[in-house]
Amino acid sequence: MAFLAVILFILFVISLGLLIYIYVGYPLIIVGLAKFFRRPIKKTDFLPTATIVIPAHNEEAVINEKLDNILSLDYPRDRLQIIVCDDASDDRTVEIIRTYIPKGVELSEGARAGKVGALNRALTLATGQIYVITDADTILNPNSLRELLVNFADEKVGCVVAQTRMMTSELETSESGGLYWRYEALIRQRESDLHSTVAATGHLMALRRDIMQPIPTNVILDDFYLAMMTISQGYRVISEPKSVVWERPTNTMGDDVSRRRRLTAGRYQMLWMSKEYLPKLSSLLRFQVISHKFLRLAIPHLMILALVTNIILAAILPALSLSSIVNMTVVVLMILQGIFYFMALVGGILSNTSLKKSKLAKLFMLPYFLCATNFASIAGLLWYFSGQHTVLWQQAKRS
């Protein structure tokens, strides 16, 4: 039994240690490195020509607002090309887009091919120096595009991504999702300060058109692929804090789990493809990709391992007559894990009631958010290796 206890203790320490490293250790390392090795961006009042590409599939509920938003941006209209690439919508999306053609919006229609197919189609039509991608269900601040593009005055910058924030109808950050994006924004900004962020998000991102190449049609995560493509060519990928795009929260956690299942499947695909781009990256960037992107795939498995080994250790250690401090530490950690999962359970129950926006519910929503989204990671793993994953996407219902 002593040998079993040693093995379980090692597994418990490794799983707990890796979880702490992923959530706390890596961000602290990046913040520390960025403080001493920051590489500023050379910005000027740069106004390049830009092609804004909006992939769309069944977006009748949001496309009006999106196009009005794009047309109202604080950027010279004569320096913008706006292309909406419809991916075989079967609702009123195309009909609505056509009403904007007199205002200079271009419509590109094609057979159902997913977001990558739409982006590749738009690439053949783009005339701007900068290729800008933005989702149909997000809203940009008026200055977002200008703040995004001034970074390209620095010839070393190849891709710039905006800061994503969650919104309610009043454009206020929501609790669990908003906290996650603020946490992510800190890491991405410090990665950018060092050299490049490795966590690009396609809600609003811009790339130099002359480094753009058609995206392989089987790619699930086009944004991550484009970031790796950019860095592999020796350019920087920058997160711009003054460029803000607002994402509507999903109506239910189930919708968010479905979306994250697809994202996780895409991460496993990019892990499988890593032999194509990781060797081209510096040691620092490889460290960032592994720590920020790939180790996160292990989080749900580490959570399960930490809980199971902790429970077994708490049951068998008293029989080994070990130090009371050891026994107490194991029991306390088990109790803390129990409280965390109990809070997640309560958060799940409250999320389906009228109390979900109460101050009491907010206390439980973060544990629920972490557990639900990490459950989606396991689902994404099974989805990817089952061969059922697809590059086609369906928009989650959003508030």
Question: What would the pLDDT profile of 320-361 be if each residue is shown by its tens digit?
Answer: 766 778 788 889 999 999 999 999 888 888 776 766 666 667
The pLDDT score that the predictor gives to residue 92 is 94
The pLDDT score that the predictor gives to residue 179 is 73
pLDDT for residue 398 is more than 60: no
Q: Could you read off the pLDDT of 370-393 as tens digits, one per residue?
A: 888 787 778 777 766 776 555 555
Handedness of CA 176, 228, 222, 75 (dihedral sign): positive
Euclidean distance between CA atoms 246 and 204, whole angstroms: 10
Q: Could you read off the pLDDT of 113-127 as tens digits, one per residue?
A: 888 999 999 999 999
The pLDDT score that the predictor gives to residue 328 is 87
Mean pLDDT of the chain: 87
Residue 353's Cβ-count burial label (10 Å; 0-12, 13-18, 19+) is exposed
pLDDT band at 172 (very low <50, low <70, confident <90, very high): very low
Q: Convert 81-102 to b/e letters by CB count within 10 Å (16 or more is b).
A: bbbbbbbbbeeebbebbeebee
Q: 144-148, 162-166, 221-225, 286-290: which range is least confident on average?
A: 162-166
Task: Write out the E strands in 57-156.
Answer: 80-87, 105-110, 130-134, 138-140
Q: Could you read off the pLDDT of 264-302 as tens digits, one per residue?
A: 888 888 888 898 899 999 999 999 999 999 999 899 999
CB 319 within 8 A of CB 339: no
pLDDT for residue 169 is more than 50: no
Q: Could you read off the pLDDT of 49-76 as tens digits, one per residue?
A: 999 999 999 999 999 999 999 999 999 9
Question: Does residue 288 sit in helix, strand or coil?
Answer: helix
CB 284 within 8 A of CB 194: yes
pLDDT for residue 5 is more than 90: no
Residue 378's Cβ-count burial label (10 Å; 0-12, 13-18, 19+) is middle
Side-chain-facing half-sphere of 371: CA atoms under 13 Å? 19
The pLDDT score that the predictor gives to residue 134 is 96
Strands 105-110 and 204-208: unpaired
Neighbouring C-beta atoms of residue 328, cutoff 10 Å: 10
Which residues, in sequence order, are bridge partners of residue 161? 205, 239
Q: Could you read off the pLDDT of 173-215 as tens digits, one per residue?
A: 344 556 777 888 899 999 999 999 998 888 999 999 999 999 9
The pLDDT score that the predictor gives to residue 174 is 46
The pLDDT score that the predictor gives to residue 44 is 85
pLDDT for residue 147 is more than 90: yes
The pLDDT score that the predictor gives to residue 129 is 97
pLDDT for residue 242 is more than 80: yes
Question: Does residue 220 sit in helix, strand or coil?
Answer: coil
The pLDDT score that the predictor gives to residue 45 is 84
Euclidean distance between CA atoms 69 and 171, whole angstroms: 14
pLDDT for residue 257 is more than 60: yes
pLDDT for residue 100 is more than 90: yes
Distance from chain centroid for Cα 265: 13
Average pLDDT over residues 312-319: 85
The pLDDT score that the predictor gives to residue 170 is 39
pLDDT for residue 43 is more than 70: yes
Q: What is the pTM of this model?
A: 0.85
